[in-house]
Amino acid sequence: MTTKPAIRAEAARLYAAFLAAGAAPVEADILLPADTMLDLYGEDIRARAYVTHDPLRGEMMLRPDFTVPVVQAHMAHGADPARYAYMGEVFRKQDHLGNRASEYLQVGFEVFDRAAPEAADAEVFALFCQCLQGLPLRAVTGDIGILMAAVRGLDTTARRKAALLRHIWRPKRFRALLDRFAGRATMPPARAQLLEKLAKGSPAALIAEAAPLIGLRSEAEIAARAAALIEDASAKPIAATEAAMLYDLLSLQAPARAALDHLRGNAPLLPAIEPAVTRFAARLDALDGRGVDTATLAFEASLGRTTMEYYDGFTFAFVGPADLPPVASGGRYDALTAVLGQGKSIPAVGGIIRPNLVAALKGAA
Amino acid sequence: MLKIGVPSKGRLMEKTFDWFGARGVAMARTGNEREYSGAVQGVEGVELVLLSAGEIPRELAAGRIHLGVTGSDLVRDKLADWDKQVAELSALGFGHADLIIAVPDAWIDVDTLDDLDAAAGAFRAAHGLRLRIATKYHRLVREFLTTHGVADYQLVDSQGATEGTVKNLTAEAVADITSTGETLRANHLKILSDGLIHQSQATLYAARAADWAEAGAVLHRLAKQLGLVVPEGL
């Protein structure tokens, strides 16, 4: 059993290392307004975070992670560029019996920098490598930016691309949509019937025939979706070569340099990914420059596709025993800063380490 | 003494008494008809505890009762990792109800979860709020929608008259139990074709956290009388 003082000492060591790497210390409230988190993460966060009610401030949440408050603080009054370090408790409800902590320390490092994003990616990853050196961990990297570029470059309707991008962090639904758009899944019978009816009558007539319209969703909204369905039905399936390229990308796992060669080989089939592949290459060079062996570094193109993070570029994780969460994880989240920045945005990359797991690994060694 | 929790009123209580009675275990309420006390005959050492069906999952989880009869929907919704906290002894074959997702009949463009998800995305863009689904089954509904990758929705709590929430503009869709679908139809709602979340029925559960030191022997006698197999670990 790792004691709390041992965990706090480990956290202090990591925090000091982050400060020594040039970060400014940043603090965040423990009690946060729930609405921003709910808007961002949706109902999923309700299952994971402690939500409580304040008589004056409405729904509040015990800090489930530092990303949102740190980004908000930076957007409000941060220097540009900036490097931040933080250390503090986060709170996560556990929905399964077991030994996962519902209150634990996180130590984090975040870089907000407009210049040379690949260099910033490499800086963060190399710093984490250095902090975790000697522990029995497997480092894995990924790049969601390549997948997003591939989707944006598909030869299909804007609506289909938007639908795929909306679900980029929900692998199962993304896959179902891709199967349908690529003509691999059959159309549900009710959809076929609806299209048949829409071919004969107007949406307004069909709605009137169905039932009295109740609720906030208007006839115009229903008609707009019906029009979208008609458009979608006439769109040709995503070409087999492009679809194959995407399926290949979803399951791509290889050492980073081999993955780069593989992607370069595929790029002519989907030229839109070339800029993203070039960035991937630049990142590997930057990592090499910092002493990371990219010939053996693990790469998984889908790493970090979860709605609780919203990564949209480089991702990484340091994985220990299989029954535990990653000891450290992070990535690039440029788009998140735009969502939280009310019109402003800044490229951002960072990650967290869980000192309780580090201390446990050291204790076991 | 083995404590068995049974719903304290209504059809669920009567059907439970019938089910045990048919297997030679007579249950009855005692005292006047407003008093919540009961007796069990046919097996020695069993104490009847009359409880609200909604509280039985919690009492099972705490181990304050050894056995309990309640809807499988309630156990799965109220208990995290329900199958680690209770063991299912037998489905009882009554109290059938389906937990489903329903939307207005007039939504001609929505028949599946895929449609619901797309409608929710457009709804959020148009109204600035996530599509509201009224329910009292928060855990079951959220797990179901997360598993199926539905986004841009929110659950709003509704403890009764849930089918009326759409007309009253407090929700756009509902997730509720139905047996015949009549209330849904009367409120101009239709069930999504892949919107079945759970098929519930009255079920006899054993509490893993209860003290079985003495009650274990009673359980084996009772199970033999009822023709049931005692699950492992009890």
Clarify whether residues A116 and A257 are in a common domain. no
Q: B101 in a domain, yes or no?
A: yes
**Average pLDDT for A212-220:** 95
Per-residue pLDDT reduced to its tens digit, A177-199: 999 999 999 888 889 999 999 98
Residue B37 has pLDDT above 80, yes or no: no
Clarify whether residues A210 and A65 are in a common domain. no
Q: B169 in a domain, yes or no?
A: yes
Q: How many domains is chain B built from?
A: 2
| Residue A13: exposure state from Cβ atoms within 10 A (0-12, 13-18, ≥19) | middle
Q: B214 in a domain, yes or no?
A: yes
Per-residue pLDDT reduced to its tens digit, A94-110: 888 877 889 999 999 99
Taking contacts as CB-CB distances below 8 angstroms, the residues of chain B near A97 are 80-81, 84-85
Residue B223 has pLDDT above 90, yes or no: yes
Q: Which structural domain, as residue segments, surrounds residue A248? A: 140-172+239-318
The band of B233, judged by pLDDT with boundaries at 50, 70 and 90, is: confident
Per-residue pLDDT reduced to its tens digit, A68-80: 999 999 988 888 8
Clarify whether residues B128 and B206 are in a common domain. no
Mean model confidence pLDDT for chain A: 93
Clarify whether residues A154 and A286 are in a common domain. yes
B210–chain A Cβ distance below 8 A for any pair: no
Q: A177 in a domain, yes or no?
A: no
Residue whose entry in the numeric block shows the structure tokens 């074709």: B193
The percent of residues above 70 in pLDDT, for chain A, comes to: 99
Clarify whether residues B143 and B108 are in a common domain. yes
Q: Which of A203, A216, A224 sits opposite B172 (nearest CB)?
A: A216
CATH number for B71: 3.40.190.10
Predicted TM-score of the model (pTM): 0.92
Residue A281 has pLDDT above 70, yes or no: yes
Q: B56 in a domain, yes or no?
A: yes
Q: B232 in a domain, yes or no?
A: no
Clarify whether residues A146 and A133 are in a common domain. no
Taking contacts as CB-CB distances below 8 angstroms, the residues of chain A near B112 are 188, 190-191
Clarify whether residues A96 and A39 are in a common domain. yes
| Chain pair A-B, CB pairs under 8 angstroms | 118
A173–chain B Cβ distance below 8 A for any pair: yes
**CA B123 to CA B133: how far, in whole Å?**
13
Clarify whether residues B92 and B7 are in a common domain. yes
Q: B233 in a domain, yes or no?
A: no
Reduced to 3 states (helix: H, G, I; strand: E, B; else coil), residue A255 is strand
Clarify whether residues B142 and B91 are in a common domain. no
Clarify whether residues A120 and A27 are in a common domain. yes
CATH number for A119: 3.30.930.10
Clarify whether residues A204 and A161 are in a common domain. no
CA distance A78 to chain B (A): 29
Clarify whether residues B27 and B42 are in a common domain. yes
Clarify whether residues A97 and A146 are in a common domain. no
Q: B105 in a domain, yes or no?
A: yes
How far is residue B24 from each of residues A113, A173, B13, B40, B88, measured CA to CA in Å? 76, 51, 17, 10, 21
Q: Which of A46, A95, A191 sits opposite B111 (nearest CB)?
A: A191
Q: A96 in a domain, yes or no?
A: yes
Reduced to 3 states (helix: H, G, I; strand: E, B; else coil), residue A273 is helix
pLDDT score of A365: 58
pLDDT score of B45: 93
Q: A178 in a domain, yes or no?
A: no
Are A117 and A91 within 8 A, CB to CB? no
Clarify whether residues A227 and A304 are in a common domain. no
Q: Which residue of B has its CA nearest to A223?
A: B109
Q: B231 in a domain, yes or no?
A: no
Chosen from A59, A217, A225 to mutate, greatest number of chain B CBs within 10 A = A217
Q: State the virtual CA torsion across B27, B33, B34, B35 in degrees, nearest 10.
A: -50
Clarify whether residues A199 and A115 are in a common domain. no
Chosen from B77, B81, B108, B156 to mutate, greatest number of chain A CBs within 10 A = B108
β-pairing, A328-332 vs A298-300, is unpaired
Clarify whether residues B183 and B139 are in a common domain. yes
Answer yes or no: do A188 and B111 touch at CB < 8 A.
yes
**CA A166 to CA A143: how far, in whole Å?**
17
Answer yes or no: do A188 and B112 touch at CB < 8 A.
yes
**Average pLDDT for A312-338:** 93
Q: A49 in a domain, yes or no?
A: yes
Start-to-end CA distance of chain A, whole Å, equals 13
Q: How many domains is chain A built from?
A: 3
CB atoms within 10 A of CB B36: 14
Reduced to 3 states (helix: H, G, I; strand: E, B; else coil), residue A192 is helix
The crossing angle, in degrees rounded to 10, of helices A4-20 and A117-131 is 140
Taking contacts as CB-CB distances below 8 angstroms, the residues of chain A near B166 are 214-215
Residues whose CB falls within 8 Å of the CB of residue B44, separated by 6 or more in sequence, listed in order: B218, B221
Q: Which structural domain, as residue segments, surrounds residue B218? A: 2-96+201-226
Clarify whether residues A147 and A61 are in a common domain. no
Answer yes or no: do B81 and A214 touch at CB < 8 A.
no
Clarify whether residues A253 and A161 are in a common domain. yes
Q: Which residue of B has its CA nearest to A169?
A: B149
